[in-house]
Amino acid sequence: MRLVTFQRLNNSGAFDESAPVMPLFGIGAPMREQESRGGLFSFFGEEVGILSRDGTRVLPIAETGISYPDMNALIAGHIPEEMEVLRSAAEAFEIPPADAEYAETEAEQADREGFSSLFVGSDVKILSPIPVPLQDVICLGLNYTEHAEEAAAYAKEAFTSKDRYPVYFAKRVNRSPADGDPVPAYADLVDSLDYEAELAVIIGKDVKGISPEEVPGCIFGYTILNDFSARNLQTRHTQWYLGKSLDGYTPMGPCIVTADEFSFPPRLRISSRVNGELRQDSTTDMLIFGIDHIISDLSRAMTLKAGTIISTGTPKGVGMGFDPPKFLHAGDTVTCEIEGIGTLTNPICD
């Protein structure tokens, strides 16, 4: 199942301010822009929906009788029975392809036509699946062998790791850009803007002290994250935090694919292209430290809250890995792709 955060558009293509705004857990006043209740944020007119497999249509989850104000609330508050309702709705919402081996029954057609189809681009804009994460994103550095080698070749002192232990760092996210949103170049501050295609894992329940074997049961789903990096800021400081955390440097999307869609651990093709040129091309089973190790290891020391985003690292082929480096500039376009999830494309703007 593919879950998205979206905003409705009016006839002129602008955000529809008359669109419904969901109250927090059905209690109290609706959430308005940058107004919070209990630490949860929901921006004006944002809704949660199910994305069709072809990426063209959205079904608001409210049509299934399940109501959450935003993706964070759904992740933290869902129960298994609700997820089953959503999965059934997602299946009924799909239009069989023209070359399908079986014909849609009248009952199946009636179920599908009972839902409102909102079309991406004309009726709704897809946002980042979690536009405002509740906490910093937890990231893995140097978690693909060949990327660790290219990073060390670029700046050995800044990119060193101890092979026995993962490299963890945090990435602050004020608001996450969506697929298609521009990413600022910060030309007056950044002279070495780089891209990193990554598989991000979303935790589905609060966990502490879990074993590697328990990890699959705590994962809500997966999305694509482009870990944009200002290499000059990253290498200037002992810590990477500043060079990773500029506003707009954490686009995610196009959706969250729920964990039940993949075997564990997921073995997915991951790639990136800049202006159409293939830069990164690998698979997620090449991680040095796997998802089970990462989550278990982190949970030994800290509580991982529902909605926590863990970005698992990037393969070789980033801009700093070329000789000479191939950094990004205003006018460039970066596309990250992960098999079974989709593509995340962001132009670089002034």
Q: For position 268, which CATH number holds?
A: 3.90.850.10
The answer on 214 and 329 residing in a single domain is yes
* Residue 132 domain-assigned (yes or no): no
The answer on 258 and 198 residing in a single domain is yes
Whether the pLDDT of residue 184 is over 50: the answer is yes
Average pLDDT score over residue span 202-230: 98
pLDDT tens column, 132-181: 999 999 999 989 877 557 765 655 555 555 567 899 999 999 999 999 99
Whether the pLDDT of residue 57 is over 90: the answer is yes
Q: Among 23-37, 65-79, 334-348, whose mean pLDDT is lowest?
A: 23-37
Tally of domains within the chain: 2
For residue 114, the enclosing domain spans 2-126
The answer on 87 and 159 residing in a single domain is no
The answer on 76 and 36 residing in a single domain is yes
* Residue 263 domain-assigned (yes or no): yes
Where residue 219 falls among pLDDT bands split at 50, 70, 90?
very high
Domain end marker among 94, 126, 158: 126
Average pLDDT score over residue span 26-46: 44
Specify the pLDDT at position 90.
96
Helix axes 106-113, 80-93, angle to 10 degrees: 110
Residue 317: name the closest of 279, 344, 282 by CA: 279
Domain end marker among 126, 145, 174: 126
Can you tell me the distance from the alpha carbon of 134 to that of 348, in angstroms, rounded to the nearest whole number?
A: 26
Where residue 238 falls among pLDDT bands split at 50, 70, 90?
confident
* Residue 283 domain-assigned (yes or no): yes
Higher pLDDT residue, 326 or 10? 326
The answer on 305 and 210 residing in a single domain is yes
Residue 209: name the closest of 312, 306, 307, 303 by CA: 303
The answer on 163 and 118 residing in a single domain is no
**Which residue carries 């529902």 as its tokens?**
306
* Residue 131 domain-assigned (yes or no): no
Whether the pLDDT of residue 31 is over 50: the answer is no
**Is 308 exposed, middle or buried, given 0-12, 13-18 or 19+ CB atoms closer than 10 A?**
buried
Q: 113: number of CA atoms within 13 Å, CB side?
A: 7
Whether the pLDDT of residue 78 is over 50: the answer is yes
**Is 300 exposed, middle or buried, given 0-12, 13-18 or 19+ CB atoms closer than 10 A?**
exposed
Specify the pLDDT at position 143.
92
Specify the pLDDT at position 113.
60
Written as six digits, the tokens of 83 are: 């997820």
Specify the pLDDT at position 225.
98
DSSP string for residues in 268-318? -EEEEEETTEEEEEEEGGGBSS-HHHHHHHHHHHS-B-TT-EEE----S--
Q: Can you give the pTM of this predicted structure?
A: 0.87
Q: Mean pLDDT, the chain, as a whole number?
A: 87
Can you tell me the distance from the alpha carbon of 225 to that of 201, in angstroms, rounded to the nearest whole number?
A: 10
The answer on 320 and 208 residing in a single domain is yes
Specify the pLDDT at position 33.
38
Whether the pLDDT of residue 224 is over 70: the answer is yes
DSSP classification of residue 31: P
- Own/partner contacts of 59-64, CB < 8 Å, gap of 24 or more, are 59/89, 59/90, 59/93, 59/115, 59/116, 59/117, 59/118, 60/116, 60/118, 61/86, 61/89, 62/20, 62/22, 63/89, 63/115, 63/116, 64/89
* Residue 213 domain-assigned (yes or no): yes
Share of the chain above pLDDT 70, in %: 80
Specify the pLDDT at position 249.
98
Where residue 34 falls among pLDDT bands split at 50, 70, 90?
very low
The answer on 202 and 113 residing in a single domain is no
The answer on 105 and 17 residing in a single domain is yes
The answer on 143 and 122 residing in a single domain is no
Specify the pLDDT at position 327.
98
Written as six digits, the tokens of 218 are: 């705590």
Specify the pLDDT at position 23.
39
* Residue 240 domain-assigned (yes or no): yes
The answer on 177 and 109 residing in a single domain is no
The answer on 174 and 107 residing in a single domain is no
Can you tell me the distance from the alpha carbon of 315 to that of 40, in angstroms, rounded to the nearest whole number?
A: 33
pLDDT tens column, 85-142: 999 999 999 987 555 455 555 555 545 567 878 999 999 999 999 999 999 999 999 8
* Residue 122 domain-assigned (yes or no): yes
Where residue 12 falls among pLDDT bands split at 50, 70, 90?
low
